[in-house]
Amino acid sequence: MINGLGERLQQSRKNSKLSRKQVAELLGVSTSIVGLYETDVRQPSLSALMKLATIYKVTTDYLLGCEAVEKTSLSLNGLSDKQIEALTLTYKCFKNQLL
């Protein structure tokens, strides 16, 4: 068993504001299977793990425990070049303040 996988799956689902039933429908499995994944009774297949990462908008590395923290990403779709530049500068400003 992969240590902490079930807990990360459950937390990612909750962060995505999805029910077990909704995730089960998206995966094409029963609600009880999702519950078994989240309680570490059963491990998802590689394809199911990849689908779960996509559904939860996290990496498979995060779910598997290879990354310490869940990474958050922003979609820049639909933004102008000036808006993207402004966001980039804002990000760099905040990052430098944390160092």
Please report, for the domain that includes residue 43, its CATH number: 1.10.260.40
3-state secondary structure of 40: coil
User: Which residues form the domain of 13?
Assistant: 5-64
Residue 98 lies in a domain: no
pLDDT in tens, 18-69: 999 999 999 999 999 999 999 999 999 999 999 999 999 889 999 998 876 5
Residue 75 lies in a domain: no
In Å, the largest CA–CA distance within the chain is: 49
Which pLDDT score, from 0 to 100, does residue 77 have?
81
pTM of the model: 0.69
Residue 77 lies in a domain: no
Say how many CA atoms lie within 13 Å of 18 toward its Cβ: 21
Q: Looking at the predicted structure, is the pLDDT value of residue 7 above 70?
A: yes
Which pLDDT score, from 0 to 100, does residue 2 have?
85
The number of distinct structural domains making up the chain is 1
